[in-house]
Amino acid sequence: DAKTTQPPSMDCAEGRAANLPCNHSTISGNEYVYWYRQIHSQGPQYIIHGLKNNETNEMASLIITEDRKSSTLILPHATLRDTAVYYCIATVGGGSNYKLTFGKGTLLTVNP
Partner 1 sequence: EADIYQTPRYLVIGTGKKITLECSQTMGHDKMYWYQQDPGMELHLIHYSYGVNSTEKGDLSSESTVSRIRTEHFPLTLESARPSHTSQYLCASSATDRGPMFFGPGTRLTVL
Footprint of partner 1 on this chain (CB under 8 A)?
Answer: 32, 36, 41-46, 49, 93-104
Q: How many other β-carbons are positioned within 10 Å of the β-carbon of residue 51?
A: 13
The residue (of 8 and 112) whose beta carbon lies closer to partner 1 is 8
Collapsed DSSP state (helix, strand, coil) of residue 61: strand
Residue type, 82: D
Report in angstroms how near the CB of residue 4 gets to partner 1 at its nearest: 12
The residue (of 41 and 53) whose beta carbon lies closer to partner 1 is 41
Q: How many other β-carbons are positioned within 10 Å of the β-carbon of residue 64?
A: 21
Q: How many other β-carbons are positioned within 10 Å of the β-carbon of residue 58?
A: 5
Report in angstroms how near the CB of residue 34 gets to partner 1 at its nearest: 8
The residue (of 18 and 105) whose beta carbon lies closer to partner 1 is 105
Q: How far apart are CA 74 and CA 32, in angstroms?
A: 17
Would you give the DSSP letter of residue 40? Answer: T
Report in angstroms how near the CB of residue 40 gets to partner 1 at its nearest: 11
The residue (of 26 and 46) whose beta carbon lies closer to partner 1 is 46
Report in angstroms how near the CB of residue 44 gets to partner 1 at its nearest: 5
